Structure 1
Amino acid sequence: MLDIHRLRLLRELDRRGTLAAVARALSYSPSAISQQLTQLEAETGVTLLEHVGRGVRLTEQARILVRHTEAILERLELAEADLARSMTEVTGSLRVASFQSVMLALVPSALSLLAERHPALRVQITHCVAADAVAGLVAHDFDLVLGEEYPGLPQPRTPGVDEEDLSHDEMRLAVPPGGPWSRSGLADLAGAPFVIDPGDIAPAQWARNMCRSAGFEPDVRFSSGDLLLQVRLVETGHAVAFLPDLLWTDRSPGPVRLHHLPGRPRRRLFTGVRRGAGGQPRVRAFREALRDSVTAGR
């Protein structure tokens, strides 16, 4: 009988490419991963890995096994969902990964609804950028993730993950209440100090693309994914920013001036679960609470 845990490690190696990457993702040592895969080779009686330089690659037999592993894991998710649906009460734990704007605007009200409707359900929330959240979902670190997709930046669908749309959220230009940038539209902000998410993640790419479409490269003085810091920098006149409407679901923009952007771009918000887990009562309850929170905030 093949060991499910070892099959999952082989699938992760296929996804991540190196033993070191699998070890980092799953908090194992590379040698422990290698030992487990050696045991899997003994169980199957075929060679699964070939050494290439300092790394390894999967053989054709290993890829056959990975394809079957995807089906096996999906079937196990379906079995767990069927068992949970046979119960009269929604119980157990749900591990959720979310990014900041959803955590601020929707998650607290969703948790309040769940506490009323399903008091025996335990929800754990982790603040995580979308890309890391999806990787954690596939690695079984999370049971449900919240994701975002920006206009003009379609995200490739992750094999084995089922997505469900949650909402579409307009992005706006936020400028200070006073000073030289207070009444400016995007085309007038070529010399303005911007605060933009760090690195090359989707929010940062989209923000730079918006500025370039207006004819200039943004002067990024501040790099932070903390939306509350971004708001504070705008409030105090130190920066301009692109902020989602979702941020103002249960609060006022205060002194921040918000302007519509050309074309009124909206990001797509969605939830993702491993294929086969969408029927889990825990998942369905959390998705329903999120949808109700979106409706209440409109």
Structure 2
Amino acid sequence: MSQTVAAFQRCPRCGNENTAESFACNFCGIRLKIERIEKVRFFRRYETEWVAPYPWYMKILFLFVNAPKAFFDINHKRSKAPGWLILLFSSLLYGLMGLAFLSHFNFTSLPTFSPELAMFNLSFFIAFFVFGFSFQLIYFAILIYLFTKGANYAVGFSGKLEKRFGALKEQKEKVKETDMSPFSIYKGGTMLQLEGSYKFKMMLCAFTPFLLINGIKILIVLFGFPTVDVDALSTSEILNDMAQMFNAPTWAVLDIIDAITIATWVPLLMTLAIRELSNSSTTRVLIPTIIIGVVVAILFYFLRPTLFG
């Protein structure tokens, strides 16, 4: 009997039973345990009645201005997580970055509004967009894998996802078999929103900062390089000038900005995503995500032999 009691905790608000390691009620969303770190506003769990998901653009906005609220909403309708949209928009910004880079080349042999120049600009945009999408998809997937491994070590992340978001049929049976309180009129929890975990899609939302960061990088590229005159008919001259541009120290500034983002902002958002998905301790999730972010930033950016010229 004592083991059964120890394995569960009853929600003081709706009266339903939750597992002992739950930090928020799966039925009404009220906090069952309050950690010291939640005194910091950024980490405070969001508590309210959930009715319907916000539009995708509001979710992205909240990921910047109120991340706990954003992930609270996303976690209630994980299939509507804007993760792929964030990746798409970030890739489009890569395309604009390519155009910003190309704007520093004055093709003397082509009129400003010629079809040839327009096609050249379009091809450059597409090339940077495809590169940005491919690179970020692979890079983000690797980071999600590493963050998942860290969360598995800290809170048993994958195991909790399996318990919380198994097959939909199993979820429905679990809810039917649950001895729910007749006073369960609240909709702040996630138990009654029966759908898969959509882990990858939701964790992609942690890379929202790159929408802002890539915008800043576009401005740096736009104003951080000199404009050079090149002959559009001379392929060797174009390639030589582009090679010199790509070796400019300005790119090191962009790498440093990316490194700081990966080491700080992304791990903070990833902590909230993992916490909401697994209903786990904020502190225990935060520690490995910060460590992984810092290590990746050091290995991927700061150890480059060409970073500082």
TM bucket by the smaller chain? under 0.3
Which one has the bigger strand percentage?
1
TM (normalized to structure 2)?
0.21
Which one has the bigger helix percentage?
2
TM (normalized to structure 1)?
0.21
